[in-house]
Amino acid sequence: MSNSPDVLFLVLDSLRMDRVSTYDHDRETTPALSTLSTYATTYENAFAPAPWTLPSHASMFTGTFPSEHGVTNGFSDDMCRLSPSRSTLADVLSEDGYRTAGFSNNPWVGQLSGLDRGFDEFVEWDLEISSEGDDSVHTSREELYSRCHSLLGKGARQPVFALKRRFFTDSLVDRTKRWIERGIDSAEPTFTFVNLMEAHSPYFPPKQAFEELGLEVPGPLEPRVLNTKLLAYVMGKTDLDPDTRRRIMEYYDASTRYQDRKVEEILSLLQREGVFDDTLVVVASDHGKTLGDYPRDEHPPHYLRDINLNVPLWIKRPGQREGETLEDMFELASLFDVVRDGNPPSGRYTRDVAIAEDFVPHAGRTTPDEVVRWRVAADEGNKYVRNDTGAEFLFDRSSDTLLRSPDPERCDVAAETLSERVRQFGRDDGAEHGGDDESNAPGREIDSGVEAQLKDLGYM
Query: Which carries the bigger pLDDT value, residue 170 or residue 453?
Result: 170
User: At 198, is the pLDDT very low, low, confident or very high (cuts 50, 70, 90)?
Assistant: very high
**Percent of the chain whose predicted confidence (pLDDT) is above 90:** 70
Burial (CB count <10 Å: 0-12, 13-18, 19+), residue 160: exposed
pLDDT digits (tens, 9 = 90+) for 358-380: 999 988 878 888 899 999 999 99
Check whether 160 has a pLDDT greater than 50: no
pLDDT at 296 (0 to 100): 85
Check whether 304 has a pLDDT greater than 60: yes
Check whether 231 has a pLDDT greater than 60: yes
Measured CA to CA, the distance from residue 130 to residue 384 in angstroms comes to 41
pLDDT digits (tens, 9 = 90+) for 272-303: 999 999 999 999 999 999 999 998 889 999 99
Query: Which carries the bigger pLDDT value, residue 115 or residue 154?
Result: 115
Check whether 150 has a pLDDT greater than 50: yes
Mean pLDDT over residues 68-88, rounded? Answer: 83
Mean pLDDT over residues 433-460, rounded? Answer: 54
Average pLDDT score over the chain: 89
Measured CA to CA, the distance from residue 433 to residue 76 in angstroms comes to 12
Helices (H), 238-334: 242-272, 306-309
The C-alpha torsion from 99 through 185 and 335 to 424, rounded to 10°, is -50
Check whether 436 has a pLDDT greater than 60: no
Cβ neighbours of residue 338 closer than 8 Å, sequence gap 6 or more: 280, 282, 315, 344, 349
Mean pLDDT over residues 89-95, rounded? Answer: 97
Measured CA to CA, the distance from residue 384 to residue 354 in angstroms comes to 10
pLDDT digits (tens, 9 = 90+) for 306-327: 999 999 999 999 999 999 999 9
Identify the structural domains of the chain with CATH numbers, from first to last. 7-352+432-456 (3.40.720.10)
Among 176-190, 301-315, 435-449, the range scoring the smallest mean pLDDT is 435-449
**Which residue from 258, 269, 271 is spatially nearest to 197, judged by alpha carbons?**
258
Check whether 211 has a pLDDT greater than 60: yes
pLDDT at 246 (0 to 100): 97
Check whether 455 has a pLDDT greater than 70: no
Check whether 210 has a pLDDT greater than 80: yes
pLDDT at 171 (0 to 100): 93
pLDDT at 156 (0 to 100): 67
User: At 256, is the pLDDT very low, low, confident or very high (cuts 50, 70, 90)?
Assistant: very high
Query: Which carries the bigger pLDDT value, residue 178 or residue 429?
Result: 178
pLDDT at 428 (0 to 100): 40
Check whether 209 has a pLDDT greater than 70: yes
Question: Contact at 8 Å (CB) between 296 and 344?
Answer: no
Cβ neighbours of residue 313 closer than 8 Å, sequence gap 6 or more: 42, 43, 46, 282, 283, 284, 285, 330, 332
Among 33-42, 268-277, 398-407, 423-432, the range scoring the smallest mean pLDDT is 423-432
User: At 438, is the pLDDT very low, low, confident or very high (cuts 50, 70, 90)?
Assistant: very low
